[in-house]
Structure 1
Amino acid sequence: MAQDEDIRIEPFTHAAGGWTSIKEVAHALGEAHIRLDGTRILLKQNKPDGFQCVSCSWAKPAEPHAAEFCEHGAKATAWELTTDRCTPEFFAQHTLTELEGWTDLALESTGRLTAPMRWDAATDKYVEVSWQEAFADIGQRLKALEPKEAVFYASGRASLETSYMYALMARLYGNNNLPDSSNMCHESTSTGLPQSIGVPVGTVQLEDFPLCDCIFIMGHNIGTNAPRMLHDLQQARERGVPIIVFNPLKEPGLVRFANPQSPVQMLTPADTRMNTQYHQLKAGGDLGALTGLCKALVAMDDAARESGDDAIIDHDFIAQHTHGFEAFCLHLRQVEWPAIEEASGLARAAIESAAEVIGRARRVIGIYGMGLTQHKTGVANVQMVANVLLLGGHIGVPGAGILPVRGHSNVQGQRTVGITEKPEMVPADKLKAQFGFDIPKDKGLTTVETCRGLAAGTVKAIVSLGGNLLRAVPDGPRVEDGWRKAKLSVQVATKLNRSHVVHAEAAYLLPCLGRIEIDRQGGIEQAVSMEDSTGCMHGSRGAAEPASDKLLSEPAIVAGIAKATLAANKVPWDEWVADYAKVRQAIEQTYPEIFHDFEQRMWQPGGFHRPLPACHREWKTPSGKANFICPPSLDEDDDMTARGPDVIRLTTLRSFDQFNTTVYGNHDRFRGIHGTRHVLMMNDEDITRLGFADGQIVRATTASTDGVPREVGGLRIVRYDIPRGCAAGYFPELNPLVPLWHHAVGSQVPAYKSIPIRLSRM
């Protein structure tokens, strides 16, 4: 079991990237004992004829670098290719009760799972089971339930082929209970953008970066969460493009960057300043800042028209392509600057300085991440980014557009092929023609609704295609209680995590091939595909030998469960497992506009782009135009508690040694925190005002009014550059502070980025 290291808090004073990044890659490969072979395999990562990175979903270029991976991608590859093994012998030595006390890092550090396992109630241990026995028992248990009582969760890592099969299995079973990780991150995008511009995803491609003349970034730590994008941003800065950042914390990747693939920057002290303006708005202040930007742009345009100067707003575009402009302008003129300053935590002059740059630009890219979507106002935040861009006509032209940066490597793609709780998003007529059944008409459960169902006992079976759901969700302790009372939990995974050691009445742990591994079916190597953040589809071929000869592929596991569970149907499960090209043929028939000529185009360098009408100024909205949508308020509009001087607003975030719930180590190099994840980063004035001291250990308690105690103890206060009244700490350790009902209006994305808390001494 991994042990905590000595705790060190020291400022990070270097540029992101550079030699420290190269050293960390070498260290990660060495830790996994794959130094030489791993280097060879890494050179295939994100290449047109190689495998797609298993971590982030950032775009894959048509002309890749020699090393088209970042430090995080290398860590993810090393994490999957480790020579460590979590075998049946390991489980024979440890009860699940014991393993519940292990940290996330310790559990995953046991290595790759090697054989299918079943929880044995008599010994409280996992015992090995044959695949046939596992599928048969899972099938019997699912058949004994009402369809509405079972949920099929997907983490976002599975391929397009597996995701299509999984969604089909759930609907043949009888429900649309297909929650996924989108429900916890970018559902605010999928809800907000269709209302604004008629598509559920972004409109920017890699080809737009060399053409833009301004970029603004809101709520996204690119250096940690999508480091390969730093290359595109660096090139933009080097040709003089202003980059304006809005984020509560100053993240080094958006301050200075030394490109590890640049001889000049590796052999000299040179680096690139990555922003021209950096505005540290307060947590939850996005709606105020965006409203201020729009108000300033309209005021600038009024002044320009009065003086006879060039317009700031694209009035021709607005007249031809938009709806609701007049009402939006009226809203902006009614909002007063003091209210905007209070809501955003920024001075009027700071917001106007950003608007001045955006207003003079002609091709603007707006980038955002979960710092915008994981708020109560997440949907409104997304729509306000669209409003900023619509004012200048920055959607539907080369070099401009809106860019939500997705997290997991195929989280956007799994939605494209049917992983959704919304039946109206699925082509029911085509599925009926192909497979002879009517899809269920009732809306399925979102992730939050699944958690409520587990807590209430109405969800009795949970099948998880990857992920670590129990650590990712809000209100974890209450969800865990319901999970233990469920009839069945089935986990498809490569490594051990907490969702596997908290068991239902019957529990199965089914180990699968990783994406980097060679997938042979009948001796023939198979390929899979996925969609990146920019809506491009790519093929992927494994390059490493499997960790165990008892592993099955994800398609084979889905097919095994489906055949054991479902009544007779027209799906050729065995044929699909034998040849994934036949799954792609079915996907092409279901979604011909997106996937025509799928087999040929999936190997196209740079991928092939899904059709997005908004990219061509075609607006698939009820109004037939892009819509300006007024926000409901300027702030989070907390309904958790009355605000008081002792309440501060917590935002959760990832460390640099982490991807989603996967923790690679207890170090956050960029924030200078080493040896621990149990920290609370606070403004120095707040520490003094509240009567605490830097380094003091405290307990955080949610400032809610529902009578349910929520607290996390053992948190070390760290003095940090963060706005007054705000604090930051790590996801998922602080997730227990988030109530299930504290989520975005309209999308149910948990509001992890704005949690009112109080602190007390321990």
Structure 2
Amino acid sequence: MARRARYTPYDQPTGGWGSVKSLVKHATRQKAVASAPGLMRHHNKPGGYMCTSCAWAKPGKPHLAEFCENGAKATFWERTAKRTTPDFFARHTVSDLLGWSDYDLENEGRLTHPMRYDAASDRYVEVSWQDAFAEIGAKLRTYEPKDTVFYASGRASLETSYMYQLFARLYGHNNLPDSSNMCHETTSVALPQSIGTPVGTVLLEDFEKADCIVSFGQNVGTNAPRLLHQLQEVRERDAPIVVFNPLRERGWEEFANPQRVTQMLANAPTQIATQYYQLRAGGDIAAMMGMAKVLLASDDAAKADGGRRILDEAFIAEHCHGFAEFEAAVRAADWDEILAASGLQRAEIEAAAATFGKAERIIAIYGMGLTQHRLGVDSVQMLVNLMLMRGQIGVPGAGLCPVRGHSNVQGQRTVGIAEKVELVPLDQMAEQFGFEPPREDGMATVEACEAIVAGRVRAFIGLGGNFVRAIPERELMEEKWRGIDLSVQIATKLNRSHLVVGAASYLLPTLVRSEIDTQESGPQIVTMEDSTTCIHASRGTWTPAAETLLSEPRIVAELAKATLPANPKVPWDAWVADYAMIRDAIEASYPDDFRDFNQRLDTPGGFPRPIAARERRWETETGRANFKVPKALSASFDDGTDPDVLRLITLRSNDQFNTTVYGYADRLRGIHDSRMIVMMNRQDRVRFGIAEKGTARLTTAVDDGILRSMGGFEVIDYDIPAGTCAAYYPECNALIPLWHFAEESKTPAAKSVPVRVGAD
């Protein structure tokens, strides 16, 4: 029986007692209460393990509890007492399990044994590690390497990621898509063109000096809750925080810090956003263009009156290129078009620009609300334009802060998980390991999906993640996936991707980061990179969930050994015996980023990679920071001409991390017991003839010969701009066409999907 949703608007702060109660519930549900003390001692602490949830920075002097609600949920989810054993698979066919929900599949607990799919019984059956590696290797040796895909989810350590990308290139391809292709690939394309670096420019210490924060398209309360500590301190200095986001999210409104006893007892939360603007989905470029117009007008007035200049004219003259063209575009932009595209009032844009224009040190935060649109690259570059106008990059207390998702998704790219050969030191690796790497670009996520649909992919190896569930065009992708000859999934829990099987399918269960990884030289250390480019050591502290589990480096090494001819310059066994040797190899490949890697593992707060833009060195084609003129005011595929087409935002709940669903309580939005809901502006609901608390059908508003339609959504009247609606990811991925992606970056455009909504 389908779940019915409960909706009661949540009026409590983020954090607070609601967070505490949630942690108790999840620890109890996963029978992981005994793990709670370890969270205090080891989670994101020196000598402990790094969180497997988000990639937010870890301070050099950690708080007493250096974890958030979602990080604790992730740990309880991994430390669960539940186990998915061979007996479980003996009781359930794959066809039966395909009817289970995402939550129910993973809630069965940790995988314990390597499994191989048996088509005759439609079940996974136990296979020995030795046989699994031998069989997989034998199959891989029969394929043309370029017909295979090696995917990485974003949680694997730097050590595992480095080995994995080397395995792929020794095998003969650059088909290394990863989860960044689906979220911040837009950043990786936009920022190099504008400022010469693919990552953000701020460090955690910059928040101590900032006197203004501006945020676009980021839900801090769900996606990076520990960032609220820095934001709370910014507000306590009476610095403004300006937020642009279609939904009013509690994380941006109020925060009660669970580590402040007096705040908790008095229920006296800190107000976070001082200005909050609910623009239409895809309207960010227009809002920023309006702000730029106001800044230019204010600067004109200041010049005329001899007052304080708004633009940093000296910075623009010395460091920037393309300002004249950008200025002309801004002056020519029409206010009526700006307001129509943004969904905001002119007074709102002017107020935001006034705050932005007064500040001396500004940090610009953004998330997938900017990156996942047709013009996502333009959206990110428009934010860079605003910052360049005021000289807010390359000075203490200011800069760009893209908030990354998976805990090492940024680090994976740093050590070679990239389909673009220009991002990888292939010449150095060729000399280091005595082979000739493939020199043509491989497939990113969307391109891999296109190849699967076309029947060109023979084998897929997944280093974590839930690929089939995470990608767009789900119905077609699941159908075509069954034509793959070999599917190998390195995983900790069962998910839907494991059940959409190829001709041969394997599950290879692995340790999690918080577990002790003992190899020949003793307990091992792994590392990862946070959103601010700082590298951290991580040491597991708990006993593994099963003696049968292998570490990710061991699994990658065994797959490589079973597939590749022996190479004396690639010591797989020695690397597995001592991960410090892998770090030495990483340092040899990337000497500037990882100088004295093993010696700096325990640097408080991690050690930062050198980023040229932090020092106002611009590694661009012009040698300067580049102003970029956006192609249009709206970033969406929807052109805005049909009033019956809404822009659908797919988003995560408070009880979720990416495709992992911890439960059915989206507490911060007040939505409980169901994920099959759609949030709508009440006027839109009435206009489309849908009854209060009725159900709706969403149909993608494109004409490409494919019907993408989902029904059974309970409609919730929500505080969301007219013309915009919202529903949960990954459930709504079936509505996103594969060809709906950001121009240049090919990031799926999941934040403004054009849909028609009707009563169901």
TM range (shorter): over 0.9
8 Å CA contact 1:42, 1:77 repeated in 2:
no
Structure 1 equivalent of residue 667 of structure 2: 669
Structure 2 equivalent of residue 332 of structure 1: 330
Give CA-to-partner distance per residue, 1:73-120, whole Å, 9 cap, x none: 000000000000000000000010110110000000010000000000
Structure 1 equivalent of residue 606 of structure 2: 607
Structure 1 equivalent of residue 88 of structure 2: 90
CA distance in structure 2 between the aligned counterparts of 1:660 and 1:285, rounded to whole angstroms: 24
1:18 and 2:9 correspond:
no
1:289 and 2:280 correspond:
no
Give CA-to-partner distance per residue, 1:697-741, whole Å, 9 cap, x none: 121110011010111111000000000011000000001000000
| Cα offset, 1:638, TM superposition | 2.5
Structure 1 equivalent of residue 98 of structure 2: 100
8 Å CA contact 1:41, 1:544 repeated in 2:
no
Give CA-to-partner distance per residue, 1:283-304, whole Å, 9 cap, x none: 1111111111112111111111
After superposition, residues 251-400 of structure 1 pair within 5 angstroms as: 251-400=249-398
Structure 1 equivalent of residue 633 of structure 2: 634
1:113 and 2:111 correspond:
yes
| Cα offset, 1:582, TM superposition | 0.3
Match 1:437 to one of 435, 438, 441 = 435
8 Å CA contact 1:286, 1:381 repeated in 2:
yes
1:551 maps to amino acid: L
Match 1:681 to one of 676, 679, 690 = 679
Structure 2 equivalent of residue 547 of structure 1: 545
1:127 and 2:90 correspond:
no
1:315 maps to amino acid: E
| Cα offset, 1:43, TM superposition | 2.6
SS at match of 2:42: coil
CA distance in structure 2 between the aligned counterparts of 1:560 and 1:382, rounded to whole angstroms: 41
Structure 1 equivalent of residue 150 of structure 2: 152
1:512 maps to amino acid: T
CA distance in structure 1 between the aligned counterparts of 2:166 and 2:637, rounded to whole angstroms: 39
2:586 maps to amino acid: I
CA distance in structure 2 between the aligned counterparts of 1:642 and 1:196, rounded to whole angstroms: 28
Once the two structures are overlaid, the 10-residue window that deviates more, 294-303 or 187-196, is 294-303
8 Å CA contact 1:216, 1:365 repeated in 2:
yes
Give CA-to-partner distance per residue, 1:321-344, whole Å, 9 cap, x none: 000111100010111111100111
After superposition, residues 738-757 of structure 1 pair within 5 angstroms as: 738-757=736-755
For structure 2, list consecutive stretches of 5 or more residues without a partner in the other structure.
none
Change (3 A) 1:416 1:733: same
Once the two structures are overlaid, the 10-residue window that deviates more, 233-242 or 752-761, is 752-761
SS at match of 1:166: helix
CA distance in structure 1 between the aligned counterparts of 2:182 and 2:640, rounded to whole angstroms: 26
CA distance in structure 2 between the aligned counterparts of 1:525 and 1:213, rounded to whole angstroms: 44
| Cα offset, 1:5, TM superposition | 5.8
8 Å CA contact 1:259, 1:271 repeated in 2:
yes
8 Å CA contact 2:362, 2:398 repeated in 1:
yes
Structure 2 equivalent of residue 527 of structure 1: 525
Structure 1 equivalent of residue 207 of structure 2: 209
For structure 1, list consecutive stretches of 5 or more residues without a partner in the other structure.
none
Structure 2 equivalent of residue 55 of structure 1: 53
Once the two structures are overlaid, the 10-residue window that deviates more, 616-625 or 288-297, is 288-297
1:174 and 2:159 correspond:
no
Give CA-to-partner distance per residue, 1:466-502, whole Å, 9 cap, x none: 0000110000111111110110000000000000011
Once the two structures are overlaid, the 10-residue window that deviates more, 290-299 or 231-240, is 290-299
Match 1:487 to one of 461, 485, 488 = 485
After superposition, residues 133-148 of structure 1 pair within 5 angstroms as: 133-148=131-146
CA distance in structure 1 between the aligned counterparts of 2:74 and 2:156, rounded to whole angstroms: 15
Structure 2 equivalent of residue 653 of structure 1: 651
Structure 2 equivalent of residue 574 of structure 1: 573
2:587 maps to amino acid: E
Give CA-to-partner distance per residue, 1:45-71, whole Å, 9 cap, x none: 011211000000000000001110000
| Cα offset, 1:42, TM superposition | 4.4
CA distance in structure 2 between the aligned counterparts of 1:53 and 1:494, rounded to whole angstroms: 15
1:564 maps to amino acid: A
CA distance in structure 2 between the aligned counterparts of 1:645 and 1:389, rounded to whole angstroms: 34
Relative to the length of structure 1, the TM-score reads: 0.99
Structure 2 equivalent of residue 423 of structure 1: 421
Structure 1 equivalent of residue 624 of structure 2: 625
2:362 maps to amino acid: V
After superposition, residues 404-483 of structure 1 pair within 5 angstroms as: 404-483=402-481
CA distance in structure 1 between the aligned counterparts of 2:340 and 2:758, rounded to whole angstroms: 27
8 Å CA contact 1:417, 1:587 repeated in 2:
yes
8 Å CA contact 1:412, 1:532 repeated in 2:
yes
1:350 maps to amino acid: E
8 Å CA contact 2:39, 2:65 repeated in 1:
no
Match 2:502 to one of 473, 490, 504 = 504
Aligned length: 759
8 Å CA contact 1:452, 1:479 repeated in 2:
no
After superposition, residues 235-254 of structure 1 pair within 5 angstroms as: 235-254=233-252
2:724 maps to amino acid: C
After superposition, residues 582-593 of structure 1 pair within 5 angstroms as: 582-593=581-592
| Cα offset, 1:41, TM superposition | 4.0
Structure 1 equivalent of residue 188 of structure 2: 190
1:696 maps to amino acid: G
1:614 maps to amino acid: A
Structure 2 equivalent of residue 735 of structure 1: 733
2:625 maps to amino acid: A
CA distance in structure 2 between the aligned counterparts of 1:77 and 1:403, rounded to whole angstroms: 26
Structure 2 equivalent of residue 722 of structure 1: 720
8 Å CA contact 2:677, 2:727 repeated in 1:
yes
| Cα offset, 1:644, TM superposition | 2.1
CA distance in structure 1 between the aligned counterparts of 2:350 and 2:136, rounded to whole angstroms: 59
1:420 maps to amino acid: A
Identity of paired residues, percent?
Answer: 57
Structure 2 equivalent of residue 44 of structure 1: 42
CA distance in structure 2 between the aligned counterparts of 1:724 and 1:761, rounded to whole angstroms: 17
| Cα offset, 1:140, TM superposition | 1.1
CA distance in structure 2 between the aligned counterparts of 1:202 and 1:463, rounded to whole angstroms: 30
Give CA-to-partner distance per residue, 1:203-236, whole Å, 9 cap, x none: 0111001101111010000000000000100000
2:660 maps to amino acid: T
8 Å CA contact 1:43, 1:68 repeated in 2:
no
Structure 2 equivalent of residue 74 of structure 1: 72
| Cα offset, 1:4, TM superposition | 6.6
8 Å CA contact 2:170, 2:564 repeated in 1:
yes
1:635 maps to amino acid: S
| Cα offset, 1:637, TM superposition | 5.3
8 Å CA contact 1:197, 1:619 repeated in 2:
yes
8 Å CA contact 2:367, 2:404 repeated in 1:
yes
8 Å CA contact 1:4, 1:675 repeated in 2:
no
8 Å CA contact 2:5, 2:714 repeated in 1:
no
Alignment RMSD, CA only?
1.1
Once the two structures are overlaid, the 10-residue window that deviates more, 76-85 or 133-142, is 133-142
8 Å CA contact 2:148, 2:459 repeated in 1:
yes
| Cα offset, 1:269, TM superposition | 2.5
Relative to the length of structure 2, the TM-score reads: 0.99
| Cα offset, 1:642, TM superposition | 8.0
SS at match of 1:538: strand
CA distance in structure 2 between the aligned counterparts of 1:161 and 1:749, rounded to whole angstroms: 26
